[in-house]
Structure 1
Amino acid sequence: MSTLSSICRQCYRSFASPAAPLAARQFSTSPVALARQVNKIPVLSKKALAAKAKKRALKARKNIYEHEKMTLTDAIAVLRAVEVAKPNSTYEIVVKTAMTRGSAVPKGRISLPREAKPKTEDRILVFAEGRQAEEAKRAGAHIVGGIDLADGIINGRHQATTILCTPALIRAITPKLGRILGPRGLMPSERRGTVTDDIAGYIRRLSGTTEWRGDKSGTIRMAIGKIHFPVDDVVRNVRQFVSSVKRVTGNQKDTESDQKSKSVKPVNAITRIVLSSSQAPSIQISDL
């Protein structure tokens, strides 16, 4: 019995009673399951993707100056200390505006006391006829013509960085080009001064200015100086640029243009002004 105790029960019964019939092996008749099931990746909607990106941004690590405000001179001192080994680094100013629905992209021109980088050449298109068209050509306009230029802009044949128009033609081109040039910030308007009878004078003023332009969210970025610039030069550049942005966005009254234009300027509130450099953190400015 000691040897039989090490045998399993089923074998022991077969050994103990050899006359008993052997048990038949039972086979499963269930369907064969797939070896691997591939789960489909759900396609997220735009709203879900935006919420996911917002959560990721909130979890991202912020720099130590994220919620701290400084005066302009203190911020410049911090950036100069961080960039002490790179005197050719560039200061960049970022102005964030609260873009309301249907408002135009902020855009303007400025002549800084000390330019941070070489100026780029503008390609100027002018809607004018007669004497004004001849004056525009002599002043240096690249493309000059009447209403027939609208079709060339629509099909992309005429490319320009600045578009001017005389008051006599603005009503004729607005129905054709309003939806095309408006979102790009190129539509001539009285508020911006690009609808004028003095086309030649406007073109001459362009040669000494630099264009700044915001994006669709209302964020304006511009190189405002070099680290090796004296502090006073950077301060003058920043204050003059912010003043230009405030006039265009309606946060600061410009008496001359307000008297010429009868329309009321819509106000795009400025929510934040940030100064940064190539390697240094972004610092919010409190006294602008």
Structure 2
Amino acid sequence: MSLLNFTLRCGQYRSALGALNPLTRSFHSSEIVMARQVKKVATPSKKMLAAKARRKAKGKKSVYDSEKMNLADAISVLRAVEVARPTTTYELVIKTEMKKGVTIPRGRMALPREPKNMSQDRILVFAEGRHLEEAKKAGADIVGGPELCDGIISGRHRATVFLCIPSLLRAITPKLGRFLGPKGLMPSERRGTVTDDVSTYIRRLKGSSEWKGDKSGVIRTPIAKMDYPVEDVVKNVRYFMNVVKRATGNIQDGAEKGRKENANKPSTAIQKVILSSAQGPGIQISDA
């Protein structure tokens, strides 16, 4: 049998078998179905993003708004939580808004009833003449003139508070400005550490403690003991809030309102006030 006849016979047998078995699938060629194309998402413009942010900020509400309490109720809750620890301490946390160029709030205070032992500051005074004698009598630890600058830089003279009379400020600034400035210890008229009434300032320092915020504008301070009467706790909180509000420009005294530099100085907003304890929750105060 020739090759041609064998091929034809095989074709006939194949067609006959296909007719007998109807389930046999016949393959055929067809056009390739294209996969579904995903539409590209258009990149929103800056104008659209800004509008979306405004809508989001307008409808945004803090989840803690419903958890605010007045001061008296917050004190009662924390006293109940700390019933087994009567000597623990209330902590007051104040969050201030730190915008670009705003200085970190800081100052000194003497609470009506102190919850901790007063820290003993080491006071250095730049003075001469009668001011030098007044500083010594008031209890300054180190007193002298510009000759103290080298000892301060070398670490021989260590202090936590630096005072200066106005006549010596220009003499010490070139040497100590870059050394004490970043530490927040450089004598300054704004902070009240440049004064002719050195003795009064030293006596005030002896009975007060320093407070200051961190880089994010959060101020933390122990405000009272758990076993204090509620009236004493409220008095301490109110007093410290007034001190912070004055330091941040939210309250101005009559003398401060007349100054031009304070008239143009923007105030730093107080965003929230929280009272807490060692084992208790942090409670946001509504009437601080």
For the criterion TM > 0.5, the same-fold answer is: yes
**Are the aligned partners of 1:104 and 1:182 in contact in 2 as well (CA < 8 Å)?**
no
**Aligned letter for 2:210?**
E
* 3-state SS in 2 of match to 1:148: helix
Q: Which residue of 2 aligns with 1:106?
A: 105
Contiguous gaps of at least 5 residues in structure 1: 1-63
Q: Which residue of 1 aligns with 2:278?
A: 278
Q: Deviations for 1:20-40, whole angstroms, at most 9, x for unmatched residues?
A: xxxxxxxxxxxxxxxxxxxxx
* 3-state SS in 2 of match to 1:222: strand
Distance 2:141 2:94 in 1: 32
Contiguous gaps of at least 5 residues in structure 2: 1-62
Q: Is 1:263 aligned with 2:261?
A: yes
Matches for 1:137-152 after TM superposition, within 5 Å: 137-152=136-151
Distance 1:103 1:154 in 2: 28
**Aligned letter for 2:179?**
I
* 3-state SS in 2 of match to 1:273: strand
Q: Which residue of 2 aligns with 1:51?
A: none
Aligned residues: 224
Q: Deviations for 1:92-132, whole angstroms, at most 9, x for unmatched residues?
A: 11112223344433221112111101111110011111111
**Aligned letter for 2:88?**
S
Q: Is 1:206 aligned with 2:205?
A: yes
Give the alignment's Cα RMSD to 1 decimal.
Answer: 2.2
Indicate how the Cα distance of structure 1 residues 181 and 218 shifts in structure 2: closer, same or farther if over 3 A, else same. farther
**Aligned letter for 1:184?**
K
What TM-score comes out, normalization by structure 2 length?
Answer: 0.71
Bigger Cα Rg? 2
1:158 shift after superposition: 2.2
Q: Which residue of 2 aligns with 1:12?
A: none
**Are the aligned partners of 1:127 and 1:166 in contact in 2 as well (CA < 8 Å)?**
yes
Q: Which residue of 2 aligns with 1:182?
A: 181
Q: Which residue of 2 aligns with 1:94?
A: 93
Distance 2:268 2:90 in 1: 24
Distance 2:276 2:170 in 1: 43
Q: Is 1:232 aligned with 2:231?
A: yes
**Are the aligned partners of 1:66 and 1:282 in contact in 2 as well (CA < 8 Å)?**
no
1:189 shift after superposition: 2.0
1:283 shift after superposition: 1.1
The share of aligned pairs that are identical, in percent, is 63
1:276 shift after superposition: 0.6
Distance 1:186 1:170 in 2: 13
Q: Deviations for 1:189-224, whole angstroms, at most 9, x for unmatched residues?
A: 222221110001111112222221222332211111
1:187 shift after superposition: 2.2
* 3-state SS in 2 of match to 1:263: helix
Indicate how the Cα distance of structure 1 residues 178 and 82 shifts in structure 2: closer, same or farther if over 3 A, else same. same
Q: Which residue of 2 aligns with 1:165?
A: 164
Distance 1:268 1:178 in 2: 26
